Structures are given as structure tokens and as C-alpha cells.
Amino acid sequence: MIAIIDYDAGNIRSVEKALRFLGQEALVTKNREAILGADKVILPGVGSFGDAMGKIRQYGLERVIGEVIGKDTPFLGICLGLQLLFERSDETPGVPGLGILKGEILRIPDGEGLKIPHMGWNSLTFPNAGRLFRGISKEAYVYFVHSYYLKAADERIVTAAAEYGAYIHASVEQGNVFACQFHPEKSGDVGLQILKNFVEL
């Protein structure tokens, strides 16, 4: 069973729907025992960094997430879920993130011809090998919706990158922790393959 952490963020049900399409049992839950008992755990979501961290702390989920990762359960952050795994965000100065991975979330800089948020399809490059990208072709296109981007402290954990006014660390992998800035559940066959790779870890 795959637990999808519910902290009142948007876009959680689309992840559940994609997993069910792949034939997986998925449960959207805040329940500590259900999350800790899952085979794999996903932290999806769209919304504000500060509001999300407030909800995660309100529901006691920060400790649960730490326990899940500590027991080596495969864990996947998606979009806002990626950002929350890091230390801080320009979106909400002074609000600490989960700090599970080292790095910061920066605002995409304004640039001529660039619309912010970065919304739509963009191609990936793969600076380091990543288990989520088995069978994915070079320059594969995935779907993004974000105004802030990751700059990881250690570029060795970056398994996919994209260009949009900045060099965006689009996916990371460290031990049992995986995360994508883009939305695999909205990225067609490529995204389903990425989720399938996670499911099969």
C-alpha cells in the first residue's frame, strides 16, 4: 500500500488517481500508523510553503515524515512536496522547512519572455543517474507548475534538471528519499513511467 500524506494541500487526488491507474492501492491519510505501515509514502501538493509547513506541524506530520525516512521506506516528494524537504524558501522567509535535504528554494528570476509561474511542458536533462528515470529517454518532457525552484546544496543528489530563467534542480535522490519539482501524475506516459519506477523500488 502507498500512503499519500494529506495535509490539506491541493492536487493530492490526482496523484491517487495516477497510482490507481497503475494498479496500486493508495490511501490519502493523515493517520500516523497508516503512514508508518505503508510500503511507500508520497508527499504531493501545490500551494504556499509557509502554509504547508504550518499544516504539517499542526497535524504532527513532521515527526511522522522523519520516522518514515528513518526506517528506510521509499519516500517521494512532488512539487511543493519537494520544496518542503529542504531547509528554507524565498516564498516564506523565516519559516524552516523539514530540512531532510540540504538546499534552498529560490524564486525564479524575472526574464524577458518568461512567464511566472513556470507553467507547462519542459524538457529534462539527467546530470546524475537516478532510479526514477529508468527507461526515460534523454530530453523527455514533463509538466511543471511553480514560481520557486530548488537549488540543492549538493549537486550530486540532482538526478534531473531543467532550464527556465535559471538552472532548476528538477529531481533529486538521496538514499530512500526521492523528489520531483514537476508533476509526474500530469506528465503523460513519461510521468506514469516515473511513478511506476518509484512503485517498483
- Asked if the model's pLDDT at residue 10 lies above 90, the reply is no
Q: Once rounded to an integer, what is the mean pLDDT over residues 153-169?
A: 97
- Asked if the model's pLDDT at residue 152 lies above 90, the reply is yes
Catalytically annotated residues: 79, 183, 185
Task: Determine if residue 23 is left, alpha or beta; phi over 0 gives left, psi from -120 to 50 gives alpha, anything else beta.
Answer: left
Distance CA 44, CA 78 (A): 5
Average of per-residue pLDDT values in the chain:
97
- Total-model pTM: 0.97
CA distances, 174 to each of 91, 142, 156 (Å): 24, 21, 9
CA distances, 177 to each of 41, 77, 118, 120, 136 (Å): 10, 8, 25, 25, 19
CA distances, 130 to each of 4, 124, 135, 183 (Å): 22, 12, 11, 17
Name the pLDDT band for 187 (thresholds 50, 70, 90): very high
List, for residues 16-39, the tens digit of each pLDDT value: 999 999 999 999 999 999 999 999
What would you measure as the largest C-alpha separation in the chain, in angstroms? Answer: 49
Q: Once rounded to an integer, what is the mean pLDDT over residues 93-103?
A: 98
- Asked if the model's pLDDT at residue 11 lies above 90, the reply is no
pLDDT > 90 fraction of the chain, expressed in percent and rounded: 94
What structural domains does the chain harbor?
Answer: 2-199 (3.40.50.880)
CA distances, 50 to each of 37, 88, 169 (Å): 28, 10, 21
DSSP state of 97: -
List, for residues 71-95, the tens digit of each pLDDT value: 999 999 999 999 999 999 999 999 9
Find all residues with CB under 8 Å of 101, minimum gap 6, and list them.
85, 86, 87, 152, 157, 172, 174, 177, 179
